[in-house]
Structure 1
């Protein structure tokens, strides 16, 4: 049985994303037109628009569509913004960011995932996004960004990520201890940083950002 992906995409936007208070027209248009099924494994294409996280390999997963929508709306990149994505995975959110921003640099610690994500971006004609094979805790961009999207949870917000923000920049991150994590938008201001709480959620940890095991006797 063939799947009507266009209808599934419309249902995802109208029944999952929009009811979760994602109302920005540019974000909704991006989600409604970008083929999410092109960014998942062939065996999972039938689940491309389901309200669930999907595995991409190496124990990593794509966020649920609603979480992707909320991340995009929180950051709201414009065509003047440079964006860094930490944890590219399949490249789907990279592609969404590329549709909204001036340029996107994405890092992915698994070289095969980074290569596959770059190929998917090229197939969709998204030429302003680059996926690099790099570990966020060993890599240094040597520059700043207007917006940063962290694709995995962190026990505590890494100072190095905040330092990569340009003045006035913002960072979307899910932080805390499972299962009661908090999505937040970190603003870099002239006076330092301000953390804006967005909503509660749960997300697998970014490699290297897991909680430190508690010492017990």
Structure 2
């Protein structure tokens, strides 16, 4: 690909994000720095820069870039924050978060995806992300509390263990709803007296499943 074609592709990519309401300069810069093409392999590689979800191994998907950006913008991760991501998938979302936060812990139930994501992140020189194979529905209590928590799979309700691991003043972004219906993206903010819930938009994610995968 020529330099002009690459520049045009990047411009179209960022335009697609802005057209979906992504205006945060830090988020746009992070999305620009992380090459989605590094996370999409095989048959779907030519479509890596389109604003659409794509299949990855283990029956999972890499989310469409505009949804990654919208969730990241709502999360509002700050430079000194410790972030938990539930559902590593390809590692793309974690890579974006690595540009915005001090430390990212990302958990995934499929060991194959953990190994693949670790390899991709290492090849990109990303050193502030830790990928762990575990049941994400229980969070990561040994590293709690977290300033920010981002869940990339849909739960019927915001999971109690994750709410408990969110520090006071912290934010969690989570898709909520049945797996076979339209889900709602929820922003949860913890304060001294409890939690505030704000609905952001309709989304569609794979369901949050308990236990480890068989691969």
Give the TM-score of the pair, scaled to structure 1.
0.90
Question: What is aligned with 2:117?
Answer: 117
- CA 1:110/1:2 → structure 2, altered by over 3 Å: closer, same or farther? farther
Query: Any conservation in 2 of the 1:90–1:116 contact (CA below 8 Å)?
Result: yes
Query: Any conservation in 1 of the 2:137–2:162 contact (CA below 8 Å)?
Result: no
Alignment of 1:33 with 2:36, yes or no, is no
Query: 2: distance between equivalents of 1:98 and 1:182?
Result: 25
Question: What is aligned with 1:191?
Answer: 193
Query: Comparing both structures, which one devotes a greater share of its residues to helix?
Result: 2
- In the TM superposition, residue 100 of structure 1 has moved relative to its aligned partner by 0.5
Query: 1: distance between equivalents of 2:147 and 2:11?
Result: 30
Q: 1:8-23 alignment to 2 at 5 Å?
A: 8-14=9-15, 16-23=16-23
Query: Any conservation in 2 of the 1:183–1:201 contact (CA below 8 Å)?
Result: yes
- Helix, strand or coil for the counterpart of 1:100? coil
> Over aligned residues, Cα RMSD in angstroms?
1.9
Q: 1:1-217 alignment to 2 at 5 Å?
A: 4-14=5-15, 16-137=16-137, 140-142=140-142, 143-177=144-178, 178-208=180-210
Query: 1: distance between equivalents of 2:183 and 2:89?
Result: 21
For 1:75-132, what per-residue CA distance to the aligned partner results, in whole angstroms no more than 9, with x for missing partners? Answer: 1111110000000000010000001100000001111110110111111111000111
Query: 1: distance between equivalents of 2:24 and 2:137?
Result: 32
Query: Any conservation in 2 of the 1:104–1:130 contact (CA below 8 Å)?
Result: yes
Give the TM-score of the pair, scaled to structure 2.
0.90
Query: Any conservation in 2 of the 1:180–1:201 contact (CA below 8 Å)?
Result: yes
- Helix, strand or coil for the counterpart of 1:70? helix
- Helix, strand or coil for the counterpart of 1:131? strand
- CA 1:34/1:6 → structure 2, altered by over 3 Å: closer, same or farther? farther
Q: How many corresponding residue pairs?
A: 208
Query: 2: distance between equivalents of 1:89 and 1:80?
Result: 24
- Helix, strand or coil for the counterpart of 2:71? helix
